């Protein structure tokens, strides 16, 4: 986002020039700064909004679904531990969250939920755009979803399941894990997981 770059330039007191009332960064100064950092990478291709909507949801739309302000959701993503699940990118000066990480965020906490008053049509449209994504808080999750929440492999989750620490239902490869019990167990054993 251009405001992020402005803050970087201001905080690091880097050189710029003003042309027609617009700040310009000298190319050599930018290249030197870029080579000395490892947070940002150059975009080789900037997707269109239509391309992004297949796998991403605009931050404003996600906030609307949760019934909170865009600023509050951005603050959660920046400052709260649960917000680290929200994988995002910026395109055309808008922040976009991956639909998959939005689903993980919803499943990993009990504070924020999809609002079901009045905005059901927008939620329904969002669900139809990506049928593989369910924006409901699921009571039971798959081993793959549990592995993503814990940041471990599926086989590690299978080993944990065998200890009987959290409730599972089903049989064979279709076992499902009780989400809340798993999150409680994960919080108690976080040191050994991360």
Q: What does the pLDDT read at residue 171?
A: 55
Note the CATH number of domain 49-129.
1.10.10
The per-residue pLDDT for 137 is: 54
Domain boundaries, the chain: 2-35, 49-129, 140-193
Residue listed under structure tokens 């649960």:
82
3-state SS class at 49: helix
Collapsing DSSP to helix, strand or coil, 61 comes out as helix
Task: For the full predicted model, state whether its pTM sits above 0.75.
Answer: no
Q: Splitting the chain (194 residues) into consecutive groups of 10 residues, what average pLDDT does each group show?
A: 75 84 85 84 71 83 88 85 81 82 81 63 48 52 81 83 76 71 80 48
Burial of 126 (0-12, 13-18, 19+ CB in 10 A): buried
């Amino acid at each position: 986002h251009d405001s992020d770059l402005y803050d970087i330039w201001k905080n690091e007191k880097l050189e710029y020039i003003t042309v027609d009332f617009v700040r310009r960064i000298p190319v050599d100064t930018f290249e030197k700064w870029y080579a000395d950092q490892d947070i940002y990478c150059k975009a080789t291709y900037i997707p269109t909004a239509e391309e992004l909507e297949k796998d991403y949801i605009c931050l404003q739309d996600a906030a609307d679904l949760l019934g909170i302000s865009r600023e509050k959701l951005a603050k959660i993503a920046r400052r709260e531990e649960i917000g680290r699940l929200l994988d995002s990118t910026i395109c055309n000066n808008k922040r976009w969250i991956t639909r998959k990480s939005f689903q993980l965020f919803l499943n990993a906490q009990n504070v924020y939920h999809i609002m079901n008053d009045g905005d059901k049509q927008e939620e329904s449209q969002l669900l139809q755009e990506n049928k593989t994504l369910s924006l409901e808080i699921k009571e039971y999750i798959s081993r793959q979803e549990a592995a993503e929440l814990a940041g471990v492999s599926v086989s590690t989750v299978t080993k944990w399941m065998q200890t009987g620490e959290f409730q599972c239902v089903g049989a064979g490869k279709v076992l499902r894990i009780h989400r809340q019990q798993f999150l409680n167990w994960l919080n108690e054993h976080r040191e050994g997981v991360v």
